Structure 1
Amino acid sequence: MTKKSFNFEDIVQICVGAFALAVPISFSEEAWQLAETLPLTNLLLLLCLSLTFLTLYTYQSVFQRNINTRRFLFITRIVVAYLITFFIVSLVLLSIDKLPFVSDPLIALKRVVVISMPASMGAIIVDGFDKE
């Protein structure tokens, strides 16, 4: 059976999945430096790849290719999963003092987007573990 609603348990699962991948990657100096040197076009490509794979996984695994009557829930789940991931990654980077929003907001945004790509996949995979 597929999920029929989006509830607090789903939000917690997304948080845990995002956190599980955000933590090790956020502590990587390579990720910080990659974000600093990555051109904006590549950053947009990463963002598009994240959303594309979130969409594909959600369609195939979470909704089991059945979105006809639940398109709004489908789109909401993808957007919420990415936004929660973005927030979790921001918190992790902030906690290790690697989110320079005041001094260099572009670098801060780039770091969050770079680390959110794998973290968002962790988020949606953990969310898809339980099919009610």
Structure 2
Amino acid sequence: MKYSFNVEDAGQIFVGAFALAVPVSFSEEAWHLGETLPTSNLLMLLSLSILFLSLYTYHSVFQTNVKHRRFVFIFRIVIAYLMTAFVVALVLLCLNKLPFIDSPWTAIKRIIVISMPASMGAIVVDSFDKE
């Protein structure tokens, strides 16, 4: 069973996040949602992202065995989401759709909107190499 987090895991998370961040980041609808989504809906979206990451990690990566590895379990969820957000930010920056200087709140909202599907891609690819 895989309980540690290493460079291979980080690479898998980056690849999985990139695989879903790219097509969604090219969507004008995602950019528009990042501009118009109310904060309450944005928080619900962020919560759903974390919830689904947690459920998938619990059942697939840890196979429900987290009793003695709670810190590693939580760390894996947090790091997967943060790495995903970083990948999404890089893709949006490359597309000139990350207005951190002019409109930082819009930039953050776009990252959160696109990170939802991208984070699922990240954690699914990360789970492929169970030991």
Would the TM-score normalized by the shorter structure come out above 0.5?
yes
Q: What is the Cα deviation at residue 4 of structure 1?
A: 2.4
Q: Please report the TM-score for the alignment, with normalisation by the length of structure 1.
A: 0.98
Poorly superposed stretches of 4+, deviation over 3 Å: none
- Could you say which residue in structure 2 is the equivalent of 1:131? 130
Does the alignment pair 1:55 with 2:41?
A: no
d(CA) in 2 for partners of 1:100, 1:5: 36
Partner secondary structure for residue 128 of structure 1: helix
1:64 Cα offset (Å): 0.1
Structure 2 unaligned regions, length at least 5: none
Cα-to-partner distance string for 1:12-46 (whole Å, 9 max, x where unaligned): 00000000000000010010011111000000000
Amino acid at match of 2:35: E
For residues 48 and 20 of structure 1, what CA distance do their matches in structure 2 show? 22
Is 2:21 aligned against 1:22?
yes
Which TM-score applies when normalising by structure 2? Answer: 0.99
Rounded Cα–Cα distance in structure 2 between residues aligned with 1:109 and 1:4: 31
User: How many percent of aligned residue pairs carry the same amino acid?
Assistant: 69
Alignment of 1:74-93 (within 5 A): 74-93=73-92
Helix, strand or coil at the partner of 1:69: coil
Structure 2: distance between partners of 1:104 and 1:7: 35
- Point out where structure 1 has 5 or more consecutive residues left out of the alignment: none
User: What RMSD, in angstroms, separates the aligned Cα atoms of the two structures?
Assistant: 0.5
**How far apart are the structure 2 equivalents of 1:113 and 1:60?**
24
Match of 1:38?
A: 37
